[in-house]
Amino acid sequence: MISDKAKAKIDLIKRDREGYYILLKGTLDNEEISLINIYAPNNIAPKFLMEKLGELKEEIDSKTILVGDLNQPLSNLDKSNQKINKKEVKEVNEILEKLELIDIWRKINRDKKEYTFFSAPHGTFTKIDHTLGHRNMAHKCRKAEIINAAFSDHKAIKIMISNGTWKTKSKTNWKLNNMILQNRLVREEIIETINNFIEENDNGETSFQTFWDAAKAVIRGKFISLSAYINKLGRAEINQLEMQIKKLESDQIKNPQQKTKLEILKIKGEINKIESDRTIDLINKTRSWYFEKTNKIDKVLVNLIKKRKEEKQINSIKDEKGDITSEEEEIKAIIINYF
């Protein structure tokens, strides 16, 4: 998934038949890049990686970033109990070295012990999700961190690549998020704000237009402050739960306990619940935006009607005996086909 804010052009898409990897080649913000996402099946990961990376070696160059669930630790530091198959690790690292791919997260974080996957049945932590980059690409990376990912038992790896061409954020006009009105406390606060404003400012001497403009500014400011407060509370709750998980995971690594394992799973469930509610809000917001935009289809319909009339004139010339529908029926047909 590529942000629509990025200027992206994809020149090549390549997949294997089984769907275990996808390769994208193109440009991001006018800079060449190759993105490879791989999933390596469990139990056969080392053999699979050597086979697939061999297939992709012609596509891997100095602009390549390879990410995914490789189901394979790359060093002793990538597993909490350090019981790894040294032969498999060596074989995988040998082919990565030939392709000049290095573990970006490990390059930046050196000897740090942090993991992306917690196996509840075994009670072990491993870093089997990796962000690999060509040596030339990896030198541009300034930051790499492991972050929690909702709806998944794997954590995500976030990297920051600096190429010195950061763009300033464009200013956007504030717009009310209608979904906030579903919050009872927000509705009560807004009603109270309106009542207080009217009581304090409706003196009969101010013109209606001035009174209305001032009221809109006050209400808008209240909405902005309430939205910021709600978002801050949500972030604080997530941050607190994530801090609890980190502490419990640290305790579990040092002294594995069934009680601690269950507590980790419980908190992850709470985080997923919060993220699920947030996702539903975003979906509803998107629906609201969609209906607002699709109400403004005048130009689209005019163009469709014009095109249909032109086609009808051509058809009527070819076949003078053909049935011609009324203009009203024609417009109805266009609208139905459009939606």
- What pLDDT band is residue 23 in, cutting at 50, 70 and 90? very high
Q: Does residue 324 carry a pLDDT above 50?
A: no
Q: Please calculate the CA angle 233-238-240 and round it to the nearest 5 degrees.
A: 95
**pLDDT for residue 80:** 83
Greater confidence (259 vs 288) lies with 259
Specify the 3-state DSSP secondary structure of 11: strand
Terminal C-alpha separation, the chain: 27
Q: Does residue 39 carry a pLDDT above 90?
A: yes
- Of 240, 271, 11, nearest in space to 279 by CA: 271
**Helix, strand, coil percentages, rounded to 5, for the chain:** 55, 20, 30
> What are residue 282's phi and psi, to 5 degrees?
-65, -40
Angle, helices 208-254 vs 258-294, to 10°: value is: 150
> What are residue 209's phi and psi, to 5 degrees?
-65, -45
DSSP label of 29 = T
Tokens encoding 34:
């190759």
Q: Domain locations in the chain?
A: 8-161, 178-294, 298-338
Across all residues in the chain, what is the average pLDDT?
80
DSSP label of 76 = G
Greater confidence (316 vs 29) lies with 29
Q: Point out the least confidently predicted range of 139-153, 217-231, 264-278, 282-296.
A: 282-296
Q: Does residue 168 carry a pLDDT above 50?
A: no
8-161 folds as Deoxyribonuclease I; Chain A (3.60.10)
Greater confidence (63 vs 174) lies with 63
Q: Which residues contact 10 (CB under 8 A, 6 or more apart)?
A: 24, 25, 26
Q: Does residue 37 carry a pLDDT above 90?
A: yes
Q: Does residue 262 carry a pLDDT above 60?
A: yes
The answer to whether residues 132 and 119 touch, using CB atoms and an 8 Å cutoff, is no
For 103, counting Cβ atoms within 10 Å of its Cβ (0-12 exposed, 13-18 middle, 19+ buried), the class is: buried
Side-chain half-sphere of 165: how many Cα atoms within 13 Å? 8
**pLDDT for residue 165:** 47
Q: Which residues contact 313 (CB under 8 A, 6 or more apart)?
A: none
DSSP label of 226 = H
- Of 44, 54, 65, nearest in space to 16 by CA: 54
The helix (H) or strand (E) run that includes residue 138 is helix 135-138
Q: How far apart are CA 318 and CA 311, in angstroms?
A: 11
Side-chain half-sphere of 81: how many Cα atoms within 13 Å? 12
Tell me the percentage of the chain whose pLDDT exceeds 90.
Answer: 7
